[in-house]
């Protein structure tokens, strides 16, 4: 179902974000289309210090100021979309470990919701593949299940026919916003995340967010699931398979990434 940004994000909005770039990746174009983006508040759950990830941890490390770097990037990116700096909230919980801090995450989020009284709350999709994204979804759903809009960051499953789990959603639950008129604004906001869009450290073999990916997400429609009941009933087929792959593929990703990093290091030394 095609919807307008104004209809989807009516009233006061609270966008809950696990890592600093996720909100722009998933919702940047929709926010940019709002006539008054200043009614959007954004809460960043993690400190962002897990990305870029040291894929060879005994060799690689991030700098101590990475949170400050990523915080400044988030402020700059949201300013491109019209969201004021004083409406950005940083919880600074440990990146990659949100599920281990679920009580504090839930308490902080509940207090912020009580203070802001948002009409809509946005959170990562319930079958995202990143554990931090899932922890934030669970916290947001526990706080405000009736006002929840789910957005998509990770939605591709390698072993799912077609690869895109959004195509398996019940059509009535899938809302789509055309962002072509603001694609340049979204891309400009994404370009603010230099720690993710460049080889930020010498040990990186590639940026976290490639130019091709940025071009794609800046032009493609943004998708959402609105006020759907919890569980896998949102899919019209393959729900069991999606659940299984959603657990399996993230378990395989980190060992694969480390193996590739080690292989590239070895090849570069032999050249």
Q: Provide the percentage of residues in the chain whose pLDDT is more than 70.
A: 97
Instruction: Examine the pLDDT at 269 and tell me if it is beyond 70.
Output: no
Q: Where is pLDDT greater, at 260 or 141? A: 141
Average pLDDT over residues 157-174: 94
| pLDDT tops 90 at residue 55 | no
CA neighbor of 191 nearest in space, from 217, 153, 155, 152: 217
Among 29, 51, 222, which residue's Cα sits nearest to residue 133?
Answer: 51
The mean pLDDT of 31-57, rounded to a whole number, is 94
Beta strands 13-17 and 120-124 are: parallel
Q: What pairing do the DSSP bridges indicate for beta strands 40-46 and 13-17? A: parallel
Which range has the worst mean pLDDT, 7-16, 50-59, 83-92, 238-247? 50-59
Reported pTM: 0.94
What is the pLDDT at residue 249? 80
For the chain, first and last CA: distance in Å? 52
109 pLDDT more than 80:
yes
- What are the distances in angstroms from CA 231 to CA 11, 103, 151, 193, 234? 27, 22, 16, 33, 7
DSSP code string of 86-99: GGEEEEEEPTT-GG
Task: Indicate whether 270 pLDDT > 90.
Answer: no
Q: Is the pLDDT of residue 268 over 70?
A: no
Residue 266 clears pLDDT 70, i.e. is over it: no
Cα–Cα distance between 191 and 213 in angstroms, integer? 12
pLDDT band at 224 (very low <50, low <70, confident <90, very high): very high
The pLDDT of residue 142 is above 90: yes
Given a cut of 70, whether residue 212 has pLDDT beyond it is: yes
User: Model confidence over 197-209: pLDDT tens digits?
Assistant: 999 999 888 899 9
Architecture (CATH level 2) of domain 5-270: 3-Layer(aba) Sandwich (3.40)
Looking at residue 164, the DSSP 8-state letter turns out to be: B
**Higher confidence at residue 156 or residue 261?**
156
Domain ranges for the chain, please list them: 5-270
* Element at 111 (helix H, strand E): helix 102-116
């Amino acid at each position: 179902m095609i919807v307008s940004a104004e209809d989807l994000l009516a009233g006061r909005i609270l966008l809950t974000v696990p890592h600093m770039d996720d909100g722009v990746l998933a919702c940047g174009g929709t926010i940019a289309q709002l006539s008054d983006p200043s009614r959007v508040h954004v809460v960043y759950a993690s400190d962002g210090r897990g990305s870029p990830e040291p894929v060879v941890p005994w060799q690689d490390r991030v700098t101590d100021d990475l949170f400050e770097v990523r915080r400044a990037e988030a402020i700059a990116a949201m300013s491109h979309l019209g969201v004021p700096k004083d409406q950005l909230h940083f919880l600074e919980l440990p990146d990659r470990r949100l599920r281990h801090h679920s009580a504090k995450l839930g308490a902080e989020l509940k207090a912020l919701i009580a203070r802001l009284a948002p009409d809509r709350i946005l959170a990562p999709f319930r079958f995202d593949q990143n554990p931090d994204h899932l922890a934030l979804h669970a916290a947001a759903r526990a706080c405000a299940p009736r006002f929840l809009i789910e957005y998509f960051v990770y939605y591709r499953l390698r072993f799912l026919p077609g690869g895109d789990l959004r195509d398996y959603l019940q059509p009535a639950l899938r809302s789509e916003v055309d962002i072509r008129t603001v694609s340049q604004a979204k891309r400009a906001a994404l370009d603010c995340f230099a720690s993710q869009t460049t080889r930020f450290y010498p040990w990186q073999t590639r940026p976290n967010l490639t130019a091709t990916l940025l071009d794609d997400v800046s032009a493609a429609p943004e998708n959402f699931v609105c006020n759907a009941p919890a569980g896998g009933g949102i899919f019209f087929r393959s729900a069991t398979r999606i659940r299984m792959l959603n657990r399996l593929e993230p378990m395989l990703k980190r060992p694969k990434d480390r193996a590739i990093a080690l292989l590239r290091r070895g090849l570069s030394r032999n050249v």
